[in-house]
Amino acid sequence: NRHLISAADLSRDDALLVLDTAEELARIAGRSIKKLPTLRGRTVVNLFFEDSTRTRISFEAAAKRLSADVINFSAKGSSVSKGESLKDTALTLEAMGADGVVVRHGASGAPHRLAGWVQGSVVNAGDGTHEHPTQALLDAFTMRKRLGDLEGRRVTIVGDVLHSRVARSNVLLLDTLGADVTVVAPPTLLPVAIDTWPCSVSYDLDGVIPKSDVIMMLRVQQERMNASYFPTVREYSRRYGLDAERMAQLPEHAIVMHPGPMNRGVEIAAEVADSVRSTIVEQVANGVSARMAVLYLLLGGSEPAIGQEVSQ
């Protein structure tokens, strides 16, 4: 594949190659080797039309650790405010020599359109309510590190599935990797087409918790919420939030995940987010390795091989 737009772009072999490569890159970083020369002379443009903390910073760190030149573009403060289109913005950046374009956009499908306009590889860093494939890769990487092979593992994804690109990409990737996924949400926060997703659906969080190896809490996306969809915060937390009492019902080995940013006290209690079962900070660190693997495989190919470190 030349682009990474959807988790569905990845076969099982592709996904395992990305995860194994991320593991190898993390191992090299663990030896205090800060930089690899793999993408020297290549340019990665981070094109962010929607706010981000984790994804933007980790793509920048990933590209720099592979020795790429990085151009960071954020729509705020750019000529987008004068009405410049996505296509013209992208072509302008490409004229500056982008080999890879990492894009986050509020419109579902924007990275797909972009891939038709630019020569370089396009990586979807989150498009509207559609997909966030590198989040799913870093989540799978985190699960594999904690739990081993994902075949048959039971993953429960809880919350605002309707607006969640993280949920869709995770369901697709985890299914490819052989995990058994259940989504739990209020009926009003499930997509109409949920029955076409490769997962089970439950409305009974307390029933599925004791059978989960992983519980992934989703952010309640107030900014995309129509008031009629949402119960009160108090009611939502009571039925679908993860507090310490619920966490205690998880099997002993189970982990608690959240892609961030969190609404502490809404979908996840602060003491749960900060508990030893939580992998939330680890997920952020793993994001750099997963994104290095994606950039390496899309832009770097086979040479020079991993292992040819540059000294700092």
Q: Which residues are annotated as a binding site for carbamoyl phosphate?
A: 54-55, 104, 132, 135, 260-261
Q: Which residues pair with 47 in a beta bridge?
A: 73, 103
**How wide is the angle at C-alpha 58 spanned by C-alphas 267 and 6, nearest 5°?**
75
**How wide is the angle at C-alpha 21 spanned by C-alphas 69 and 58, nearest 5°?**
45
> Which is the catalytic residue, given 3, 42, 56, 104?
104
Q: Is 54 a catalytic residue?
A: yes
Taking the complex as a whole, the smallest distance from the CB of residue 24 to ligand CP amounts, in Å, to 24
**Does 54 engage in binding with ligand CP (CB under 6 A)?**
yes
Tokens of 302: 């086979």
What sign does the dihedral 162-149-141-270 (CA atoms) show? positive
Taking the complex as a whole, the smallest distance from the CB of residue 86 to ligand CP amounts, in Å, to 19
**Does 222 engage in binding with ligand CP (CB under 6 A)?**
no
Stretch that binds ligand CP, among 36-44, 49-57, 68-76, 270-278 (CB under 6 A): 49-57
Q: Is 55 a catalytic residue?
A: yes
Q: Which of 37, 178, 198, 261 binds ligand CP (CB under 6 A)?
A: 261
255, 107 Cβ separation under 8 angstroms = no
**How wide is the angle at C-alpha 141 spanned by C-alphas 136 and 143, nearest 5°?**
95
113-142: which residues touch ligand CP (CB under 6 A)? 126, 135
> Which is the catalytic residue, given 65, 105, 130, 132?
132
Nearest to 189 by CA among 155, 234, 166, 220: 220
Taking the complex as a whole, the smallest distance from the CB of residue 127 to ligand CP amounts, in Å, to 11
Nearest to 65 by CA among 296, 280, 302, 297: 296
My answer on whether omega of the bond before 261 falls inside 30° of 0, hence cis, is yes
**Number of residues assigned to the chain:** 312
Q: Which of 2, 11, 34, 53 binds ligand CP (CB under 6 A)?
A: 53
**Does 239 engage in binding with ligand CP (CB under 6 A)?**
no
Q: Which of 40, 52, 128, 231 binds ligand CP (CB under 6 A)?
A: 52
Burial of 104 (0-12, 13-18, 19+ CB in 10 A): buried
In the complex with ligand CP, which residue's Cβ is closer, 53 or 119? 53
Per-residue contact string for residues 157-196; x = within reach of ligand CP by CB under 6 A: ----------------------------------------
Residues found near ligand CP in the complex (CB under 6 A): 52-55, 126, 135, 259-261
Catalytic amino acids?
Answer: 54-55, 82, 104, 132
